[in-house]
Structure 1
Amino acid sequence: MNPTTSPTEVVRLARFVADARFEDISPEALEQLKIRVLDTLGVAIGALDAEPVVAVRGLLDDLGGAPSATMIGGGRTSPDRAAFWTSALSRYLDFMDSYLAPGETCHPSDNLGAVLAASESVDGTGAELLTALAVAYQVHSRLSDEAPVRAAGFDHTTQGAYAAAASAAKALRLPVEQIANAVAISGTANNALRVTRTGNLSHWKGLAYPQVSKEGTFAALLASRGITGPEQVFEGNKGFKESIAGDFTIDWAAEDLERVRRSIIKKHNAEIHSQSALDAAQAVRAEDGFSPLGVSGVRLRTFDVAYSIIGGGEEGDKRTVRTKEEADHSLPWMLAVVLLDGELGPAQYHHERIIAEDVQDLMTRITIVPDAGFSARFPEAMPADLEVTMTDGTVFRASTDSYEGFHTDPLSWDGARAKFDLLAAPFATPQLREEIAQLVQDLEHRTVAELADALARVSPTRATATLASPAPTSAA
């Protein structure tokens, strides 16, 4: 692949990646990048004792690997396996950030695993890590904008294969030609099926992107040793455009590093398209005279993407809920548990709560319908109109179209810190949480090794000694 003559589309993308500089990140985007690093680390730490994650850790320990990248919770392994580990942690709770495009939804923070592992393996700086992460947000988001694949039956991790490889290659400080080869290898090899998120859901829902994070990192490592990939991965015969996405154009020379500001952070521990509806459920529950025991029926009007993915539309019925994976992708179940409990966090995903009779029964009385007017406003807004009818005929109603953490109401550093402390408290002392938060807040002046060292000192299991009140929030 020759980046100096007749550049292919992947070479033009690689030039954008290679040319990206920390100085190109605006102060606003830099603040949001740091907030997302802290948010993602909190979500990851909070998943350390989840059963599937423990199984993954056991496998990685058995496999070993050259100890060049740190694992959250202690231990070291190869960069590709460390990338899988961090991404598995940050995905399991389904509490990470999202990016909404008209035909696609992705989770750009999934790429932190690849960036963190690759950067540490070359003694990277915090500024380099933030730059590579900004690249990941830009590539992942823009491909989701212009080349959605869900309607064709492919998973959103498909575009992520390009972002993970591009950002890992950036973190490894590869030149243009090797970046292009890394992206081509990863993009060609990782075209995942949407069946991951339809029907009865499995553990793979939370592990599909860790696989891409691992493979994107490995593709970058292969490219660093001179391995080449298909030079026309996008536009070639049987390439991405012809086989999956259809024709699209992105002028990578005109791209910036600001797309992180359009991503959104979850307020509720639930699938992203449910967030505004769950806010509405909390508003109803707070009304004087409301009692979940007196609910006779619930009707939610929402936008078509929410209905299709989690409301019982094209991706299957959402009223058979037995597992955590099914629960956090069932809008009827999520609405029911919020009306009953007033919140939706990790505690609601304990198996006993998922299958409890009250939530299972209330779920059957919830109707979800798509609204064309609401759909026309998505993704600039996430409209939801919730109507709850009581057995005595009283009707409670709440409508909303955004929430704290949406791109029109960005999460503040203080808000991110509060969420981080809540999730990390069972695994990290107040002092360690403060240290991690301070490192992230000053990351451009620190090394990746410093952050990795702090993450290694997080306990892999819950410890009563860490259950003190959250550490004071540092100044924004």
Structure 2
Amino acid sequence: MTEVHRLAEFVTRARFDQISDTALQQLKIRVLDTLGVAIGALDAPPLIAIRELIDDLGGTPSATLVGGGRTAPDRAAFYNGALSRYLDYMDSYIAPKETNHPSDNLGAVLASAESVGADGREFLTALAVAYQVHTRLSDVAPVRDKGFDHTTQGAYAAAAAAAKALGLDTEQVANAIAIAGTANNALRVTRTGNLSHWKGLAYPNTAKEGVFAALLAARGITGPEEVFEGNKGFKHTIAGEFEIDWSAEDLESVLRTIVKKHNAEIHSQSALDAALDIRAQDGFSVRAVDRVELKTFDVAYSIIGGGEEGGKHTIRTKEEADHSLPYMLAVALLDGRVTPDQYEPERIVADDVQDLLAKVHVQPDPELTARFPGLLPAELRVVLADGTVFTASRDDYEGFFTDPLDWTVAREKFDSLAAPFAPSELRDRIADTVADLENRRVADVTALLAEVGTTRTVAELTESAT
């Protein structure tokens, strides 16, 4: 039996009653959180352009688009996934040498499940499969240091979860995973240097391809059965040797994922809490800041601090800003928060934040690096012009797995993001349906998502964005 067949057996064997009550609650929190982030991005210019493209392309109307309309499942997976990814405010999983966002799979699972009339239990089981496959491959087969993007492992997760949601048999699941895994080995240049829109669209593309691979497999199309261990397969060409005993895996990996408190790259969360701690200290004046010094762990420095993935002081776009520790620390000290408002074009180029980010210096620290990824340690030091020094340090934050998000806080975040596009009554109905999802049908959720933003047409959203 090949490795992809053993993985496929895990997928088809997965059952709703294997999910613990604690994991189930966190899965539903991830669904609510991801939907809120998606709704909050409805008026983003790139998403408006994508929606116009989806409308132009059409597609068999079997899956709902957030904001109304229907299309083919793979296109719905792309659009809804792009919505949930654009703000960069979704959940994360941190392995020692890889970071990913398992909620990126929601668009694929939602579209696939709806297209076959699945119920909430089937949907949640498929989503739990996505979390398990995505996190476990990231644990044992990191690819970032080899120049590949974290969407590479995601191709296996998206295809596995889409196939599960579609109700495919073991052989079909194996083919879906093999097709998607072989075809979607993305380059890390997506997240290095000057960042483009593709930073937020790379995984939606992977989700789309995972759904399409599952649809192909459902029609009898086969994929390389030795995608993992074969000659010039994933292990040989990219990941190196690794082992996962899929027969021993459970559906609890969601408990090891974390949710963002601040609208910022995940490795910055503790540092931003430290910035807000300093901002609240007596005598602090942001106008008098002379120098900001952050000590952090090496992964944060490499990705968002100016390390090997590129400088982080030339900031002109949202994509650059939400992956720049200097920008995020500066705007946190100035505004007292880091939300989607802090990524408006006029805020990014404003003189005060541009002047302050130039004063931010980030350095990796070996002792802090040794405590990662069990913690997200950050030590911040701010020096004023008169020599006064303010310090703060954090190891974690609310939403980290040491301090999991509860439903009340998740609902507050959902409301803050969805309020511009959904009245309180609609938000209540969405949240109540997600809370009871194991007793509902997927169509109950998607019908409510179709009502979001209906008071504003695409033309109006385009006008507001410009």
In structure 1, how many angstroms separate the alpha carbons of the residues matched to 2:402 and 2:303? 23
Query: Counterparts in 2 of 1:383-462, with a 5 A limit?
Result: 383-459=377-453
Runs of 5+ in structure 2 lacking a partner?
458-466
Instruction: Report the residue type matching 1:39 in the other structure.
Output: D
In structure 2, how many angstroms separate the alpha carbons of the residues matched to 1:110 and 1:359? 30
Aligned to 2:135: 141
In structure 1, how many angstroms separate the alpha carbons of the residues matched to 2:455 and 2:13? 42
Aligned to 1:3: none
Match of 1:46 among 40, 51, 71: 40
Aligned to 2:198: 204
Is the CA contact (8 Å cut-off) linking 1:386 and 1:398 kept in structure 2? Answer: yes
Aligned to 2:311: 317
- How far off is 1:461 after superposition? 6.7
Is the CA contact (8 Å cut-off) linking 1:296 and 1:389 kept in structure 2? Answer: yes
Query: What secondary structure is seen at the aligned counterpart in 1 of 2:295?
Result: strand
In structure 2, how many angstroms separate the alpha carbons of the residues matched to 1:196 and 1:217? 22
In structure 1, how many angstroms separate the alpha carbons of the residues matched to 2:349 and 2:122? 45
- C-alpha distance after superposition, 1:359-389 (max 9, x if no partner): 1111111110001111111110000000000
Query: What secondary structure is seen at the aligned counterpart in 2 of 1:439?
Result: helix
In structure 1, how many angstroms separate the alpha carbons of the residues matched to 2:170 and 2:268? 40
- C-alpha distance after superposition, 1:295-320 (max 9, x if no partner): 00010000000000000000000111
Aligned to 1:68: 62
Query: Counterparts in 2 of 1:121-160, with a 5 A limit?
Result: 121-160=115-154
RMSD in angstroms over aligned alpha carbons? 0.8
Query: What secondary structure is seen at the aligned counterpart in 1 of 2:118?
Result: coil
Query: What secondary structure is seen at the aligned counterpart in 2 of 1:368?
Result: strand
Query: What secondary structure is seen at the aligned counterpart in 2 of 1:229?
Result: coil
- How far off is 1:81 after superposition? 0.3
Query: What secondary structure is seen at the aligned counterpart in 2 of 1:96?
Result: coil
- How far off is 1:220 after superposition? 0.2
Is the CA contact (8 Å cut-off) linking 1:91 and 1:207 kept in structure 2? Answer: yes
Answering whether residue 281 of structure 2 is matched by residue 250 of structure 1, we say no
Aligned to 1:226: 220
Query: What secondary structure is seen at the aligned counterpart in 1 of 2:301?
Result: helix
Is the CA contact (8 Å cut-off) linking 1:49 and 1:462 kept in structure 2? Answer: no
Answering whether residue 179 of structure 2 is matched by residue 181 of structure 1, we say no
When the two structures are superposed, what TM-score results if normalisation uses the length of structure 2? 0.97
Runs of 4+ in 1 over 2 A off after TM superposition: 460-463
Is the CA contact (8 Å cut-off) linking 1:95 and 1:269 kept in structure 2? Answer: yes
- How far off is 1:244 after superposition? 0.4
Instruction: Report the residue type matching 2:321 in the other structure.
Output: A
When the two structures are superposed, what TM-score results if normalisation uses the length of structure 1? 0.95
Aligned to 1:466: none
Answering whether residue 269 of structure 2 is matched by residue 275 of structure 1, we say yes
Query: What secondary structure is seen at the aligned counterpart in 1 of 2:66?
Result: coil
Aligned to 1:26: 20
Aligned to 2:104: 110
- C-alpha distance after superposition, 1:29-56 (max 9, x if no partner): 0000000000000000000000000000
Answering whether residue 374 of structure 2 is matched by residue 380 of structure 1, we say yes
Instruction: Report the residue type matching 1:441 in the other structure.
Output: A
- How far off is 1:392 after superposition? 1.1
In structure 2, how many angstroms separate the alpha carbons of the residues matched to 1:453 and 1:343? 33
Answering whether residue 342 of structure 2 is matched by residue 348 of structure 1, we say yes
Instruction: Report the residue type matching 2:440 in the other structure.
Output: R
- How far off is 1:460 after superposition? 5.5
Aligned to 1:370: 364
- How far off is 1:163 after superposition? 0.2
Residue 461 to residue 406, structure 1, CA distance change in 2 (3 Å) = farther
Query: What secondary structure is seen at the aligned counterpart in 2 of 1:388?
Result: strand
In structure 1, how many angstroms separate the alpha carbons of the residues matched to 2:364 and 2:40? 34
Is the CA contact (8 Å cut-off) linking 1:428 and 1:459 kept in structure 2? Answer: yes
- How far off is 1:462 after superposition? 5.8
Is the CA contact (8 Å cut-off) linking 1:49 and 1:461 kept in structure 2? Answer: no
Instruction: Report the residue type matching 1:382 in the other structure.
Output: L
Match of 2:281 among 267, 287, 297: 287
Is the CA contact (8 Å cut-off) linking 1:49 and 1:460 kept in structure 2? Answer: no
